Amino acid sequence: MEQPIRTWQAILPSLFVLAACSQEVPETTAEPAAPAVMARSPSIEGARVYFITPSDGETVSSPVRLEFGLSGMELAPAGTERPNSGHHHIIIDHELPGFSLPVPADTKRVHFGDGRSETELALGPGQHTLQLLFADHLHIPHDPPIYSEQISITVE
């Protein structure tokens, strides 16, 4: 009686391996999914955003006082869906993000979803680049996108 139990103990793991190997894996030719492209709100021709302060090339101290200008569009808090409106985002020491998805929120891309057009920003000593990007109620840049020239400042 002891012999058959040992035989099953030896065979059982092999049966599991065979069963696992015989599972067919369906062949797939599908491409990996690309990120979804979201609908972009239209912007008004000639609309623009710009820095009132600081000026390009200016030397400042931290915290840096920033004022944003806007023409041709209207300020509105994030979540407020209204034609020809949106809110500011500041891009710090980074390139502009893609325009077909919401602007990421992190230390390099700061949202002003409350509709503010001024702030104080703590920046470390050295040279920094700043750029404004205007986006709609869902943080998606308009079509065509509205962004400022990139400026450079030096923080003492």
- Angle, CA of 81, 84 and 89, to the nearest 5°: 80
| Statement: the pTM of the whole predicted model exceeds 0.85 | no
Radius of gyration of the chain (CA): 28
pLDDT in tens, 8-51: 455 444 444 344 444 444 444 455 554 566 799 999 999 999 99
Q: Where are the domains of the chain?
A: 48-155
Cβ distance 146 to 134 under 8 Å?
yes
> Which residue ranges of the chain lie beneath pLDDT 50?
1-2, 4-5, 7-8, 11-29, 34
Largest CA distance in the chain: 92
Cβ distance 92 to 129 under 8 Å?
yes
Architecture of the domain spanning 48-155: Sandwich (2.60)
Look up residue 8 and give its amino acid.
W
72: its two tokens: 């041709």
- Amino acid 114: pLDDT: 97
- SS3 call for 58: coil
